[in-house]
Structures are given as C-alpha cells and as structure tokens.
Structure 1
Amino acid sequence: MCAASASSERRSEVQRQKGVMKKYVRESSVKRLRSASVVSSDPSSQNGEADTENMNKTDRPFMTIQRNDSSDNLVFHMKNGIRSIKYKPVDYQQLYALTEAKKLASASTELKIRKAVQTSKISKEQTLIKQHKQVWWQEHQRLNEVRCKMECEIKSFLNEENIGNECLSDLLNFERELAEQWCIYLENVIHPIQQLREDLKYRLHPISQCSHSQSEFNSVKVLEEVDSVKKQLKAVFERLSLEQQKIENNLSEWSVQILDHSSEEGINLLSELPMEFETLECPYSDLKSSILNEFCSFTEKYQKKLQDFDLQLEDVYRNFQLSDEDHWIFQAVLDQYPGDLCGRRTLYLDMLQRYFPRKSRHDLVEHEKYCDQYRFAKEQRRILISSWNKNRRDFIQKAVLTLAEACAAHEMESTMAKDRKKQQEVCADLKAKVLQWRAHQEEVARLEMEISVRRREKEEEKEKLWKKKELLQREEKKKKIRKYWAEKEQKWQEMEMRDLRRLEELKKLMAEQSVKDRERMTEHVAWRQGIEAIYLSLTQAFSPLIRGMPSSQLGK
C-alpha cells in the first residue's frame, strides 16, 4: 500500500511538472509572437532598439529567454527593413483563438491533474483509514481479552476467599452497587433513547397518512421531545464527565503518591544500611569499618547517578509540548500500533494529527523526541536501580561471608590459644611430676648407696672384730665383745629395718606413681592426637582464608 501511494504521488508530481513546462513554453511563444508583431508594425522601434544597444550592459536585466537562430535572423531583417518572402501578415484573431484554445486545453489538463491529485489523496486517506481500522480492531480484541482475563482473575480471587470476610463483603457490595447503577443507567438513558429512535423511525415511515396540520403538530412535538432528551442527555453526560474527571484525578493522585512512595523507598534503601551489617558481629573492628566505608562509597556513586537521572527526567518533562491528559492520549495512541507494523510512524503520526488538529506535525515530532528521551532516561534509571539491587545483594553476601570467615578464624585462633594454654599446663604438670620422680629416684639411689656402705662397714667391722677377737683373749673380752656385738647388731638391725621399710614404701609409692603416670601419659597422647586431628581438619578447611588474610592478622 505504501509503495502504491508513493508511485501515485510520483506520477502526479511528474504530470504537474509537465503541465508547468507546457504552460511556460506556451507563454514564451506568445510573448515572442507579440514582440515580433510589434517590431514589424512600429518603425520607431528602431530608435528604441538603438537606444537599448547604447545602454550599459551592466544596467540590462538578467533574462533567460530561449531563442533559436531563425527567429533572431528574422527579427534582425525586420529591424533593418530588408524584405523577404518569409514574412507574412499577422492574423491576430487566429492567434487569439489559438491562445484561447491552448488556455482551455491547459485548464482542462490542470483540472485533470487536480482531480488525479484529489483522487490520490482520497485513496491515500482511505488506505490510511483501512490500516487504522485494522489496528483498531486488533487493539479492540486485545483489550477485550485483557478485560476478560482481569474479570476472571477478580472472580477467582473473590471465590477463593483468601481475603478477610469484611473486605470480601465490601467488594461484593460494591459490585452489586455497580450492577444496580448500570441497570438504572440502562433504564433511564439507553432504553429511552432506543425507544425514541424506534418511534422516530416509525413516524418517518411513509405509511403514516395524516393531514398537514396534524403532521406539523406532531413534528413540533417530536422536536420538543428530542430537544428535551438532548438536554437530559447533556446533563447526564456532564455529570458523568465530572465523575469521570474526579475518579481520574483520584487515580492520578494515588499513582503519584505510589510513585513518590516507591521513589522515596528507593532513596531510603540507598541511604540506609542493611540490617545484616547491624545484626552481624565481627571480632575485628577495622574489618567491619572498612566494609561499611566501602558500602557507603559504593552507595554514594549510585545516589549521584540516580540524582542525575532524576534531574534529566525533570528537564525532559519540562520540555513536553502537551499537557498531561494530551500526553496520556499521545502515549495510548502510540501503544495501539505494534512495533513490527509496516509504516507504523506514518500511521500514528496521522492519527495524532487527527486527535490534535491544532498541533503541527513539527510539534508532535518534537514531543515524540522528548518522549523517547524521557522513556530512555526512565529505562536507564530502572536499569540502574536493578543493577544497584543486584550489586547490593552480591556485596551483602560477600560481606556476610567475609564476616563469617573472620568469626570462624577468630574462633579458631581462640581455640588454638586455649589448646596451647592447656598444653602448657599439662607440660608444667608433667615437668613437676618428672622432677618429683627424679627426686625420688635420687633418694632411692642415695638410700641404696647408704645401705651398701653400711653393709660394707659392717663386714669390715666384723673382720676387725674377728681380728680383735683373735688378738684379745677369748676369755677376758668375750663378754665385752658379745655385748658390743649385741648392741651393734641390734642397732644395725633397727637401722636396716627402718631403711628397708622406707625403701619398700618408696618403691611402692614409685610403682603407684608410675602406673598413674602411664595412664595419664596414655590419656594425654590420645587427647593430643585428637587435638592434632582437629587442628589438621580446621587448617585444611580454612586454608584459603588463611592464605588471603594479611600477615598482621595471622600474627595476631
């Protein structure tokens, strides 16, 4: 359709140019003939021609008259008075008749061209209207489908009874009121109009046979009735338009409040800290402060970009060429035409010019440009907020993971410190026990050495006594020797018995202590092996964190 309209426009333009050229050629030929006739009839033209030749060439006007060589030669011969058989008397009546015939032919041609242009415009208009009808029908079907879908969703929502009984009863009462108002509107407005229409059709039917006076009376009565109905309908429509305007204002106020609330929520979401940072505890204050500083700097960048987009939206909105209601109509018309439609821009610009006849095409194109800028800035703002939400979630997840890893590392360090302290206590206890065992061993060795020394002394004393016995007289010193021996024997026996008892006590104590130490050493070895296994598992689990931590925190 677009190609056919373009080809018809091109044909009409070519025909128009041809007509203009023909008209120009006719006018130039008529002027040439008139100038030739004037030259041949007026002898004073020679003086005028001489005067024109004496004129300065710079003072002559710039003329673009095409002349052939034959006409120039003829004019030259006539100026000089040279006779020739080529010259004929001029028949002005015939020339006037030819001129009038050419004028009539050109006028008929121009009329045909105008008719062709008008026909092309009408066909183009009909083609556009046909395309508009197709788009309107598709939009009508889509809106009906959306309406049915929304009504089904509302009915299913009301049937599920997921909301409270009070709210459900309010909605049902509101639906009942709307149905009653619609019935009243049909009875009071639509049905009387239909009845009046049928009555008028019946009265205008040719079968009615009444007198002239009666028909005049009936026509006056009918006109009065029609006027009263018009007045009533006008009042009803004015009241309905006021109600519609009131509802639209309420909806626009609510939409503005919702948009302001959503924008305020977005700004508050950008300005306030996440709850995760406030609830989580970190043993390292510098780590938490660095995370908060990073989040604040990260948020400030997005706030600055968001403010830039808001200022850009305000600037573009101030440049709108239409009011809010007209802009809503403009957007509704644009939404009616899908993006994949052929000649979409031509169609919706034509429809917008029909909706806004006082606006020029330039104003509509400018408003379209500003709308595209506004929509682009709004889309960029939405993308910015979505990217902010995504980056915020990722940052919070990373921060929570980092804080959890820091808490786990701190807990592992505290566990290792406790284990180290317990190890030191166990080592000190073992050292004290080893020292005690060493003292006991030294005491046992000393006692054994003393016993052996005493035994050796006893043997030596025996030998000495036996030698003395041999030297002394058996008879004189027998009693002394026996007495002395008895005393010595008793003393040695007492000392030996005491030492033996002490030795047995020490050996028994050392045996008990060795059994206890062996049991404690077994328990300590098992406990140490368990601690080493736990330490190895924790080291393997947190090895990536330990590698990524700075050396100062590892030292801590």
Structure 2
Amino acid sequence: MAQKTTPVRFELFGCEAMSGRDLRGFITNCRTEDLEKLTLRMKDGLGSSKYKPAEYEKLQAIVDAKQLQSAHIAQKVKRTLRTAKETKESSLLRQHRQVWSRENIKLANAGEKAEAELQGFLGLNGLGSTTDKEVLSELLDPELLLESELDVFRCATVEPIWQLREDLQYRLTEVQHQQQHQPPQPADWVKVLHQVNSVKDQQDAINRKLHTEYLAIEEDILSLGVEESSTKTADCLVPVDQVPEEFLNIDCPYPRLTASLIKEFQSLSEKYQSRLQSVQDRLQGLDRFCGWSADDHLRFQMTVSQYPPDLHNHRALYMDLLQRLFPHRSRQELTDHERHWDWQRFTQTQMHVVAQSWQRDRADLMFKALVTLEEARETHREELALHTDRKHHQDICSRLSDKLQKWRAHQEEVARLEAAIAGRQQEEKEDRLRREQERDSAMRSLQKEKVKQYYAEKQRRREELERRDQQRLTELRRFMAEQAKRDKERVQFREEALLQRRQEREAQALQHLKEEEERDSRLEALRNQVAVVAEPDPERMMGDTEAWRGRIMQQSGEEEFRLHRPLYHLNTYTDSQIVSDPRVRIELALRAAGLHDTLYAKEVLSVVQPPRPPRRDTDSTGFKSSTKSV
C-alpha cells in the first residue's frame, strides 16, 4: 500500500518544482486544511471502499488549463500596462503640444510686434534727411550681411543633409523593388556608408567650428562685463557714501545734533548692508546658473517658463519635458536644480525688497533730519534771543553780586577785627595774670624793672593797635551805614518804577477795555439801525400758506383718509405696573446708592419675590444656581 501512495504524493505535490510564474498561474480554491486531510487519507490507503483512485491525466489537464489561464491573464496585464503607458504618454504629448502651440503663437506675436516696431522705427528714420538715410543704410547692412551668411551656411550644411536624405530614401525604395528580383550588391552599400560617414564627419567639423565661435563670442561678452554688471547690481543697491551729500552741506548750529544724525545715517546703511550681506550669504556660493552650464540652465529656464502656474499639473508637465531634454540627469538632480533656482530668485527678490526698504527708510530719515535741522535752527534763533536777554540780566546780577561780595568782605573784616580785639583782650588778661604771678615770684628788682619796661612798651603798642582798630571800625561802620542808605534809596526807586510801570499797564488795559466797550456799543447801535422790526403773529406762523390752500382746493374732490384707530394692539406693561414691582424699586434704590454691582445687591435681589408668583412653565433655576455660585 505504501508503494502505491508514494508516487501519488509526488505527483500531487509535483507543483513544488514549478517556476514562480507557473505557481502564480496555478490558483485554486483549496485550503491548507483540505490538503492536510487529503494527505492523511492518502496515507491511510486508496484500497478502501471510501476513496476512488486518482485520475492523473485529468489533474494534469486542470493544471495545464490553469497555467494557460494564468499566462493569458499575465499577457492581458502587460497589454493593459502598455496601453496605460501609451495613453499617459499620448496625454503628456498632447498637453505638451498645447503648451508648445501657445508658446509658438506667443513667440510669433512677439516676433511680429518686434518686426513691426523695427520697421516703423526704420520707416520713420528713413524719410528724413541724408544723414538719416545713411544711418538706415548702416543699420540694414549688418542685416543683409547676416542673411547672406545664413544662406551660405544653409547651402553648405543643411541642404547636403537633405539631399543625402532624399537620395537614401530613393535608394531604399529601389532596393525594396530589387529585392523581389535579385539580392543587393555589398559594394553599393559600402559606397553609401562611406558617403554617410563623410557627411557625418563634415557635420561634426561644422559643429566644432560653431562651438568654437560660440565660445569666442561668449568670451567677448564676458570681457565686456555685461554679466558682471547685471550680477553686481544687487550688490550696489546700498551705495558706498553712507551719508547724502545734500545733508552734509546743510549748516547746523548744533554739532552734536549733526553728529547724531550722521550716526543715524551710518547705522541705517550698516543695518541694510548687513541684511543684504546675510541675504547674499544664503546663496551658499551658487553662481548665476546654479551649478549647471549656461546652455543647460537657459534650456531649463525656458522650459519651466513655458508652463505657467495657472496651468493644470504644470510641474509634472515641465518635469516630464525636462527629463526628455536632459536624459543624462536624474529626477533628483532636476529637483535640486529647481530648488536652487527658486532659492536664487527668492534671494534676488529679497535683495530688491531690502533695497526698496533702504531707499524708503533713507528718504524718511532724510525728511526727518531736514525737519529736525529746521527746528534746530529755529530753536537756535530763539536761544540766541533768550541768551541776549539772559546776558543782560546776568550783567545786572553780576553787578549786584559784586556789591554783595564787597558787603560780605566788609562784614568779614569787621568780624575779624572784633575777633582780633577780643583775642588781644584775652591775651592782656592772661599777661596780667602772668605778671601778677611773676611779681609775686620774682625776687630780683632788676628783672622786675626790665619786665615792667617791656610790658609798658607792649602796652603802648597794644593801645596804638587798639586805637587804630577802633578808628578803622568806626570808619567801616560809617561807610556801611551810608551804603545801606544808598541801597535803601535804590530799592525804593526800583519799587516806585515797578509800581509806575504796573499802573501804566493797568491804565492801558482799562483803556483797551474802554475801547472794546465803545466798539461793542457802536456795533450794537449799527445792529439796532438795521434790525428787522416785525410784530409777532403766531396765527399766521402756524396757519396754512397760500400754496397749501391752493393745493387743498385742487384736491377738494378727493377724500382724506384719517386713521381713527391704531394699526395694532400693544400687549405690554404700563409704567405704574413696572414700578409696582418691588424688585424694580429695590434695583433703582441700589443703583441710586451705587451698590448695584456689588455682591450685596445680588444677594438682596435673589431673595426678593415678585408680586405675583411665576407660572410653572416659566420658572427658571439658572438665576438661583448662578447666585449660589457667586
């Protein structure tokens, strides 16, 4: 039994040796449990009456049918994918053709416009004098020269290629006709290939020559410095002179103010230069072409400009076209270049914005500086006038202070003399005491006599000094008394002059008031002379006018509509009903006392009951809960 089951197992599970494609095609609805049950049954044996013998030919046919169906489905999927790819490609090409047609129309219109402007300019300048005609001929000569060179170049390069192409097409048709009768000769094909290779070599030489001329022209343009000037325009947005010349030439009486304004101009320029430098540093060393060659960058830029942002799916379209134009570059490189180009344009826009902001702030600062300088000059003129008045007052004060200093010096001298007299008196007292002590203690008469003589001489000198000090003190007191008398007279004179000036000003004010009263009286008399005198007539004022009476007479036949009852009934409360509510009266009393916003008012109003209890359907618990929370 085991010998019979073993080949059955290998044949049933022989699909393990199939390839991956055949396994994908062999799709059944069997589950793992069914396979395990079938294996167990095959192990038990096929000789039992329960099971039927396996039909291998039928199973192989089923497997072949499944494989065929899987291959058919795979081919259908491939066809579907190919059709979808072709449909997508045709859709992209159709959208590209639409964009190209619009761009072609735009370029044609621009060319026609430029040609029309050129012809109009040449026509206007060609109808003038002989000089104008000479200028026109000089302008037309390069154009004719370029056209002739273009014809020569076309005859030397393009027309041989077209002739070779037509010759090859003609030979191809002849070869197709000859193949039906006799095989082609290899010698003929060798000649044709030799001719094609020679034309290719000529075209390569022409392309190399054109590329060399292109590089030479590009070097000439670079030597002129056009690109450098265009790239450095953004760098020179903030000029080197940080302070305007017209501001430096303005005269200002305050040097510190001028220095502060110059410092403001310099700080403004430094701030915008730092901002411009920070914006330039964001480019991170990128050149004008963002790391690509000039031709590739120009082609990239022109391709992106053909697809405006308002076009649906414009980024996918120009990325597809860029991948076609640059097959040697990956999509990541194109995306990086696009990001670098956007960053460069954003940086240039920021540089222009910074330049505009600098010009605006510089103009505002210039205007404010001019206004400030004008105010400073006006203030300086006022200060000069005030300084003149102050100098006059200072002269008066200096004279008075000199007199006060002299008076103080005299007082100090008096105090010093009095102190000297008191000191001398004290010394005299001490000398007297000392003499008494010496007289009591001295034993020798000769020494006493000498001492007496000495003290007598000293006393004489002291008396002389005291006499002179007394005389000087008397003179100083007399001089100070005279000076005080003169100062008093001067002060009294100043008070009288001040009182006289005040009386004069009061008299002028009274005279001015009197003139105003006389002017008002004259004006009132004039008003009374021209006043309209009319008797009051309230009946005429409140009565109908003649026009109204005429209008009423015309409309006498029409019935007048009068409203005898109100348009609608009002269902509301009267003022007495509202005031009868105790809550309203309590709120008015609290409001009059200024307590309506306090917690006490909320407590009182929450306790007061209405005059009539509310209906059950209108009762609300929100106010109570809010009061409790408060």
The normalised TM-score by structure 1 is 0.54
Aligned pairs for 1:275-286 within 5 A: 275-286=245-256
In structure 2, the CA distance between the partners of 1:321 and 1:115, relative to structure 1 (3 Å rule), is farther
**1:127 has 2:84 as partner:** no
Contact persistence 1:276–1:396 (CA under 8 A): no
Give the one of 129, 141, 146 matched to 1:178.
Answer: 146
Contact persistence 1:338–1:344 (CA under 8 A): yes
**1:256 has 2:230 as partner:** no
Alpha-carbon deviation of 1:106? 0.4
RMSD: 4.5
Alpha-carbon deviation of 1:77? 4.8
In structure 2, the CA distance between the partners of 1:372 and 1:262, relative to structure 1 (3 Å rule), is closer
Identity among equivalent positions (%) equals 35
Contact persistence 1:306–1:384 (CA under 8 A): yes
In structure 2, the CA distance between the partners of 1:104 and 1:259, relative to structure 1 (3 Å rule), is same
Contact persistence 1:271–1:299 (CA under 8 A): no
Alpha-carbon deviation of 1:384? 1.2
**What residue number does 1:347 align with?**
317
Spell out, residue by residue over 1:520-555, the C-alpha distance to the aligned partner (whole angstroms, 9 max, x if none): xxxxxxxxxxxxxxxxxxxxxxxxxxxxxxxxxxxx
Q: Which moved more, 1:114-123 or 1:388-397?
A: 388-397
What number of residue pairs does the alignment pair up?
A: 361
Alpha-carbon deviation of 1:376? 2.0
Aligned pairs for 1:276-355 within 5 A: 276-315=246-285, 322-355=292-325
Alpha-carbon deviation of 1:319? 12
In structure 2, the CA distance between the partners of 1:402 and 1:173, relative to structure 1 (3 Å rule), is farther
**What residue number does 1:266 align with?**
237
Provide the rounded CA distance (Å) in 2 between the counterparts of 1:84 and 1:92.
Answer: 19
Provide the rounded CA distance (Å) in 1 between the counterparts of 2:183 and 2:6.
Answer: 75
In structure 2, the CA distance between the partners of 1:243 and 1:374, relative to structure 1 (3 Å rule), is same
In structure 2, the CA distance between the partners of 1:386 and 1:410, relative to structure 1 (3 Å rule), is same
Spell out, residue by residue over 1:472-497, the C-alpha distance to the aligned partner (whole angstroms, 9 max, x if none): xxxxxxxxxxxxxxxxxxxxxxxxxx
Provide the rounded CA distance (Å) in 2 between the counterparts of 1:239 and 1:217.
Answer: 33
**What residue number does 1:147 align with?**
111
Alpha-carbon deviation of 1:124? 0.8
Spell out, residue by residue over 1:79-103, the C-alpha distance to the aligned partner (whole angstroms, 9 max, x if none): 4569765422222232222212211
Aligned pairs for 1:29-68 within 5 A: 38=6, 67=31
Give the one of 334, 337, 360 matched to 1:390.
Answer: 360
Alpha-carbon deviation of 1:295? 1.3
Spell out, residue by residue over 1:159-188, the C-alpha distance to the aligned partner (whole angstroms, 9 max, x if none): 6669x9899876554334323322332443
Provide the rounded CA distance (Å) in 1 between the counterparts of 2:227 and 2:31.
Answer: 76
**What residue number does 1:106 align with?**
70
- Give the counterpart letter for 1:148 in structure 2: E
In structure 2, the CA distance between the partners of 1:255 and 1:224, relative to structure 1 (3 Å rule), is same
Contact persistence 1:353–1:360 (CA under 8 A): yes
In structure 2, the CA distance between the partners of 1:301 and 1:158, relative to structure 1 (3 Å rule), is farther
In structure 2, the CA distance between the partners of 1:418 and 1:172, relative to structure 1 (3 Å rule), is farther
- Give the counterpart letter for 2:340 in structure 1: Y
Spell out, residue by residue over 1:334-375, the C-alpha distance to the aligned partner (whole angstroms, 9 max, x if none): 111111111111111111111222322233223323332232
- Give the counterpart letter for 1:345 in structure 2: R
Provide the rounded CA distance (Å) in 2 between the counterparts of 1:111 and 1:161.
Answer: 72
In structure 2, the CA distance between the partners of 1:89 and 1:212, relative to structure 1 (3 Å rule), is closer
Give the one of 61, 82, 91 matched to 1:118.
Answer: 82
Runs (5+) with no aligned partner, structure 2: 11-28, 394-630
In structure 2, the CA distance between the partners of 1:200 and 1:76, relative to structure 1 (3 Å rule), is closer
- SS of the aligned residue for 1:313 comes to coil
Provide the rounded CA distance (Å) in 2 between the counterparts of 1:333 and 1:112.
Answer: 37
- Give the counterpart letter for 2:306 in structure 1: Q
Contact persistence 2:5–2:43 (CA under 8 A): no
Alpha-carbon deviation of 1:68? 6.1
- SS of the aligned residue for 1:400 comes to helix
Alpha-carbon deviation of 1:271? 5.1
Provide the rounded CA distance (Å) in 2 between the counterparts of 1:188 and 1:181.
Answer: 10
**What residue number does 2:342 align with?**
372
Spell out, residue by residue over 1:49-75, the C-alpha distance to the aligned partner (whole angstroms, 9 max, x if none): xxxxxxxxxxxxxxxx98465554454
- SS of the aligned residue for 1:382 comes to helix
Spell out, residue by residue over 1:373-406, the C-alpha distance to the aligned partner (whole angstroms, 9 max, x if none): 2322222222111211222222223323333444
Contact persistence 2:242–2:265 (CA under 8 A): no
Contact persistence 1:276–1:400 (CA under 8 A): no
- Give the counterpart letter for 2:83 in structure 1: T
In structure 2, the CA distance between the partners of 1:41 and 1:401, relative to structure 1 (3 Å rule), is closer
The normalised TM-score by structure 2 is 0.48
Provide the rounded CA distance (Å) in 2 between the counterparts of 1:170 and 1:407.
Answer: 61
Aligned pairs for 1:160-179 within 5 A: 171-179=139-147
